[in-house]
Amino acid sequence: MVRHFAKAPWWVWSVVSLCVICSLLFAVSALSLWPRAEAQHPNPDPQPTVYFIASSYTIGEADGPVIITVVLRAASAHPVTVDYATRDGTAVAVGCPPDYEHTEGTLIFAPGETTKSIVINIIDNKYCEPTESFTLELSNAQGASLGSPSGCTITILDDEACP
Ligand SMILES: [Ca+2]
Ligand SMILES: [Ca+2]
């Protein structure tokens, strides 16, 4: 058998050698591409998180509106929505006197967007008042998880000259 194979024509040896070389080249290139392919397809993206950039804001009664920033990290390939609403504390939206305008709605982050702003009007009244505060809260995040802080406190400094 060996003797028979050894007598094979030269072109058989050429074809066999070519096949061996091609197989080796294929194996080497596949091994070198493997880590790169892994890098391009890492573990599935972690769920983006939506939260306030700061947990507290302070504003003068006459310096409104207050602008609150909401962050989405990381950017999502899909739309992300989150609801927001103000909630009375010692500062109230309806009362005598009212201190701010109740604000609620839904933020929509388009794919790739990472920041949104919420604008809340502060009411400049003529009453002498102590420092008061209310909160703004995020809820019902869709396409992202709710991160921390998901609530922030807005403190209003009175600007009347109290007796
Ligand atoms: Ca005032
Ligand atoms: Ca006042």
- Please identify every stretch of the chain with a pLDDT value under 70, giving residue numbers as ranges: 1-8, 10-45
Quick one: 27 and 58 in the same domain? Answer: no
Same structural domain for residues 66 and 28? no
Q: Which domain holds residue 136?
A: 49-157
CA 61–ligand 1 middle distance (angstroms): 6
Got the DSSP string for 77-142? Answer: SS-EEEEEEEE-SSS-SSSSS--B---EEEEEE-TT--EEEEEE-B---SS----EEEEEEEEEEE
Closest ligand, as measured to the CA of 157: 2
Across the beta sheet with 151-157, the strand order is 56-60, 151-157, 132-142, 80-87, 104-109
* AA identity, residue 102: H
pLDDT value of residue 71: 98
Tell me the CATH number at 83. 2.60.40.2030
Quote the Cα angle for 48-51-56, to 5°.
Answer: 165
What is the predicted pLDDT for the residue at 28? 52
* Domain assignment of residue 162, yes or no: no
Spell out which residues have Cβ within 5 A of ligand 1, the ion: 61, 124, 159
159 CA distance to ligand 1 centroid (A)?
5
Distance, CA 158 to ligand 1 centroid (Å)?
Answer: 6
Residues 88-127: tens digit of each pLDDT: 999 999 998 999 999 999 999 999 999 999 999 999 999 9
Ligand 1 centre to CA of 99 (Å) is: 10
